[in-house]
Amino acid sequence: MGTILEMRNITKVFPGVKALDNVNFKVEAGEIHALVGENGAGKSTLMNVLSGIYPHGTYSGEIIFEGKVCAFRDIKDSERMGIAIIHQELALEPYLSIGENLFLGNERHKRGFIDWNRTHMEARELLKRVKLNESSHTLIKDIGVGKQQLVEIAKALAKKVKLLILDEPTAALNEEDSNNLLELILQLKSDGITCILISHKLNEVMRVADSITILRDGATIETLKVGTDVIDEDRIIKGMVGRTMVNRFPKREPKVGEVAFEVRNWTVYHPVIPDRKVIKDVSIKVRKGEIVGISGLMGAGRTEFAMSVFGKAYGSRISGQIIKDGKPVELNSVRQAIEHGIAYLTEDRKNAGLILIDDIRHNITLPSLKKISRRMFIDENKEIMVAEEYRSKLAIKSSSILQKTGNLSGGNQQKVVLSKWIFARPDVLILDEPTRGIDVGAKYEIYTIINQLADEGKSIIFISSELPEILGMCDRIYVMNEGRIVGELSREEASSESIMKCIMQSNREVV
């Protein structure tokens, strides 16, 4: 069908960092073209250039779309040409209806007034096209993330999209929602819509992509064509990280000591619906130097359990007992949890884990200001030394410790979150989806840091939706389903099958 998009010699420089270095990128009409690379490789920057988020004049090089040289001043310019981008952080208004969101900024109107009949009639057609069985009057806040992704795609279709850019569309989705979304992308391809897919999930890339372009350090490494080139995950990973990765998980010899942290008969009710029990009589133990996994399907209650343990940051009517180093402790606030040597790395680093408008230095030291203070005043020299130490120790890629965390790649943001909790020197570290939205190279670095913390005798609770990660990292695994612990497996007993067996058996017992 010919070339729909060509980006020639695109170079984009931020203060102190060359994000894109002479990148060339070509997309054929009607294909699904995957764009892969490590965090910080330049994928999102390249798509922001294409969509006009970084306007013409802020970069060098040419964009040629449907044979025409384009100079997009903003995102509206690119949308008028038929280019739409869906970011990993969805841009929907939670308190507006699906129908209102679909045409926000693109309203259906008559004589200066919104035509609500036409709005909801066209919305129903769009929802049918993306196979979303919801009323167009439903509020966005009342549907899950998977359905919100479908609304975003329907919103793009309302703008007569020709080229759809999807940035990590399945990062926050469970397996079922991910499969549904991938099937929809294949359907859009059969409808003649060209897609650019950014993803760290290489199994998904291999499943749907016709072409795969690999970026590394802001430069194009190669483009692989399905059916022409020999393609496997090892080749893609080698292109992304610049080396062959024999093992996805670093080797470790566990040095497990006595029980250091215990939660007994923990029960938590919903913070808004007082009669709904979210966590039901959960008991776990973690030893010194041990990495204990909590596995389960989306909605099993893993995050709610972790947050409620961390100073009752979630829930109401919480009962049960927390025992640390053999003694009961009261953790009625986040401050008390931190003072007792417990840290919680949230799954939502952008909204709850970092202050994105502040720099690396302040983000690292914020939970532990006493450690860098003298007589109630912060010792700025000490703060700088600490931030520089962790920037070096965790290999945070940045221009300096004064760079805003919002300008870092996802992997480097996660390293900043880890740095702040390592500097707090906790005895117990709860990691909630610590590698979500992070590429294989950065994942390996974070796994190595986690192993080092375990080797130092820290007790680690590791929550993840990725079964290979749970199986590759954990010494022991608790299986959680519908707010209850439904199985406990040693490393030797654990497998994808045994974990799913625990979940399925518990479902039958409930029935």
**What confidence tier does 508 reach under pLDDT thresholds 50, 70, 90?**
low
d(CA 177, CA 145): 9
Quick one: average pLDDT of 335-340?
93
Domain CATH number, residue 231: 3.40.50.300
pLDDT of 503 reads: 85
Q: Would residue 155 count as lying in a domain?
A: yes
Domain assignment of residue 211, yes or no = yes
Whether residue 24 is predicted with pLDDT greater than 60 in this model: the reply is yes
Same domain, 347 and 400: yes
**Number of domains making up the chain:** 2
Final residue belonging to a domain, choices 210, 241, 272: 241
42 & 177 share domain: yes
Q: Does a structural domain hold residue 68?
A: yes
The span from the CA of 116 to the CA of 121, in Å, is 8
Give the pLDDT confidence score for residue 90 in this predicted structure: 74
> Of 67, 69, 80, nearest to 1 (Cα)?
67
Average pLDDT over residues 50-72: 94
Q: Are residues 349 and 457 in the same domain?
A: yes
Residues 173 and 272 in one domain: no
Report residue 159 as tokens.
Answer: 């703008």
Mean pLDDT of 60-71: 95
Picking from 214, 241, 268, the residue at the C-terminal end of a domain is 241
Q: Are 411 and 438 in contact (CB under 8 A)?
A: yes
- Kindly report, residue by residue over 30-55, the tens digit of the pLDDT: 999 999 987 778 888 999 999 999 99
Between CA 25 and CA 219, with CA 404 as vertex, the angle to 5 degrees is 20
- Asked if 316 and 189 sit in the same domain, the reply is no
With respect to residue 252, please indicate whether it lies within any of the assigned structural domains. Answer: no
What pLDDT is attached to residue 221? 92
- Do residues 435 and 414 make contact, with C-beta atoms less than 8 angstroms apart? yes
Cα–Cα distance for residue pair 66/56, rounded to 1 Å: 18
Q: Assess whether 197 and 102 both reside in one domain.
A: yes
Nearest to 437 by CA among 116, 82, 169, 64: 169
* Distances in whole angstroms, Cα of residue 83 to Cα of each of 4, 73, 164: 11, 13, 6
pLDDT at 245: 58
- Asked if the model's pLDDT at residue 244 lies above 80, the reply is no
Closest CA to 429 of 267, 286, 279: 286
Indicate whether 287 and 233 sit together in one domain: no
Q: Do 436 and 199 meet the contact criterion of CB atoms below 8 Å apart?
A: no
The answer to whether residues 201 and 97 belong to one domain is: yes
Region class of 168: left (phi > 0), else alpha (psi between -120 and 50), else beta: left
388 falls within a domain: yes
**460-499: pLDDT as tens digits:** 999 998 888 999 999 999 999 989 999 999 999 998 889 8
Q: Rounded mean pLDDT of 221-235?
A: 88
Number of C-beta neighbours around residue 345 at 10 A:
20
Tokens 């009639």 sit at which residue? Answer: 121
Is 402 within the bounds of a domain? yes
199-213 burial: b if 16+ Cβ within 10 Å, else e: bbbbebbeebbbbbb
- Whether the pLDDT of residue 511 is over 50: the answer is no
Alpha-carbon gap, residue 147 to 436, rounded angstroms: 19
| Per-residue pLDDT at 29 | 94
Q: Within 10 A of 263 (CB to CB), how many other CB atoms are there?
A: 20
Both 171 and 81 in a single domain?
A: yes
Would you state the structure tokens that stand for residue 447, as one six-digit string? 């796994």
Mean pLDDT, the chain, as a whole number?
A: 89
Q: Cβ distance 43 to 7 under 8 Å?
A: no
Higher pLDDT, 313 or 41: 313
Q: Is the pTM of this model over 0.85?
A: no
Residue 85 pLDDT > 60, yes or no?
yes
- d(CA 360, CA 345) in angstroms, rounded, equals 16
Closest CA to 51 of 66, 29, 73, 34: 73
In this structure, of 18-32, 99-113, 421-435, 495-509, the range with the lowest mean pLDDT score is 495-509
pLDDT for the residue 193: 94
Of the chain, the percentage scoring pLDDT greater than 70 comes to 97
Among 238, 297, 251, which residue's Cα sits nearest to residue 439?
238
Of 177, 206, 241, the residue at which a domain comes to its end is 241
- 225 and 279, same domain (yes or no): no
Do residues 229 and 332 share a domain?
Answer: no
> Among residues 289, 445, 413, which one has the least CA distance to residue 347?
413
Q: pLDDT tens, 356-411?
A: 999 999 999 998 898 899 888 999 999 999 999 999 888 888 889 999 998 887 77
Domain assignment present for 296: yes
Rounded CA gap, 342 and 55, in Å? Answer: 45
- Tens digits of per-residue pLDDT, 173-192? 777 788 888 999 999 999 99
- Could you tell me if residue 140 is inside a domain? yes
237 in the same domain as 268: no
Domain ranges, residue 295: 258-509
